[in-house]
Amino acid sequence: MWLHDPQTFPELESLDFTMPQRSRLYRPVPMGAEAGQIEGQLSYLVRLARAHSVNPRRLVRTVFASDNLAIRQLKYAGFFSRGAGTINGLGKYAELFQEETGQLTGACFLRHMSLLPLKELLPPNGAGLLAPKPRWCPCCVGEMVESGDDVYRPLAWSFDLYRVCVRHGMQLQDTCGHCGRHQPFIPRYPDLGRCDHCGGMLANSEQQKSSSRLDLWASKAITNIVQHLPALDGIATVSRFVAFLKAAVARFSDGNRAEFCERIGMPPWALKGWLSDGERPTLPQLLSVCYGLGIMPSKLFLEPEDILPSMRDSLRPVPEKLFGRAERPMLSVRARRKLAKDLDAIINNPEDVRSLPVVVKSLGFTQFCLKYWFPVAYASIQDKHESARKLRMAIRAQSERDAVVSVVRLMRERGEYPSRRKVNTELLKQKMSLIRPELMQIYRQAIAGIQE
């Protein structure tokens, strides 16, 4: 028997209860609980598509682009296969996707699944930071598949210098073991355990154990950065880096910069750039300093006062491979600022679809220089040109198709049989010929259409 009117529950009405805000998409829990193994923002995007059983590119094209103008402009194929790599980085794509994924899912943890916390430390162009193609450890992928959970890619795998898995000591791979092809950053099929081209598993048995101690050290240092990203956010700044370097130079070489550089095996211009010219260190350079001093990168920012006095006196020279000084094309800060402005204008002008060699020539730089200092702009210009070329070709193919169909139709209307020879004669006047297989196929289809 009801004690109250069954429609009202005074006990509940007195509770101060507000429903949490609804989100448009379901919010999966990020993978990678182990220290330094947190999932990257890109991997989260693919698993988000998986949770909704849709093609990840379709999710971006329709849902993400529907209320975000900036994402709407990124819908070309080159973006999904190459440009999207910077979603895990510290530039505008990382911010764009963090914001939009957050809006759609209500997730507030995405910032630490990209390198945005290092935005005030590393150069904005991301030089030496991200791998140009997606990479994975086949052993880790194998374990994820066996566990039955979604396969994911830790953020650490996106760094260019993360070449060896810290868990298995295996070299990371960037090509499928079955078809040998690279993987796109945003695949068509929402499964990071399978090749996006042939569908084969990316966990194969032909792995190579890495013998490079330097590579393993770099991977450990990167894992250390990723593990401490939340703590480094707001702390890892270029001014703290400079303050630490000054203290280190004072501690190890009585303030003599040239001597410090020599002992650590770095070219002398590096310190001048950082200490006097306001340059930011690239990640390989930051890791070189840490390697020379024998410390993990997080300590440089989180415990600077404690580590310097307790360090041993011997510095170890940095192997040139890590520093990559030979690969650094010289460009002054002023020239770089101007170049950045010019490139921005080109990228934001949809009418400007010039090819890279033409753009580079007009700016007066080499392609190598542009790629080194502005890898994202480099890829964007390339993608924009490629998309425009494909669009032109598609328009041309359509107009040729229309021309063949219209020649056949006109002959029929005149009561003639559109024989291959007659149609070809007409087409030759428009600089086309049925000798081309694709036009021949259209001709056959047009004839079949008439006979039906």
Would you tell me which residues interact with Zn ion (CB under 5 A)? Answer: 137, 139-140, 165, 167-168, 176, 178-179, 195, 197-198, 200
Min CB(167)–Zn ion separation in Å: 4
Min CB(178)–Zn ion separation in Å: 4
- By beta-carbon proximity to Zn ion, the closer residue of 195 and 446 is 195
Min CB(30)–Zn ion separation in Å: 18
- By beta-carbon proximity to Zn ion, the closer residue of 178 and 246 is 178
Min CB(44)–Zn ion separation in Å: 19
Min CB(148)–Zn ion separation in Å: 18
97-100 contacts, C-beta under 8 A, 24 or more apart = 97/41, 97/45, 97/64, 97/71, 98/41, 100/64, 100/68, 100/71
Euclidean distance between CA atoms 288 and 297, whole angstroms:
10
Min CB(264)–Zn ion separation in Å: 31
Locate 15 and state its tokens: 């509770």
- By beta-carbon proximity to Zn ion, the closer residue of 146 and 452 is 146
- By beta-carbon proximity to Zn ion, the closer residue of 194 and 371 is 194
Is residue 237 within 8 A of residue 121, CB to CB? The reply is: yes
- By beta-carbon proximity to Zn ion, the closer residue of 120 and 196 is 196
Locate 156 and state its tokens: 């650490």
- By beta-carbon proximity to Zn ion, the closer residue of 140 and 151 is 140
Min CB(284)–Zn ion separation in Å: 22
Min CB(160)–Zn ion separation in Å: 18
CA dihedral 133, 197, 172, 154 (to 10 degrees): 70
- By beta-carbon proximity to Zn ion, the closer residue of 179 and 410 is 179
Euclidean distance between CA atoms 285 and 295, whole angstroms:
14
- By beta-carbon proximity to Zn ion, the closer residue of 162 and 260 is 162
Min CB(400)–Zn ion separation in Å: 34
- By beta-carbon proximity to Zn ion, the closer residue of 119 and 153 is 153
Min CB(33)–Zn ion separation in Å: 15
Locate 208 and state its tokens: 């190579």
Matching residue, tokens 């190459």: 82
- By beta-carbon proximity to Zn ion, the closer residue of 58 and 167 is 167
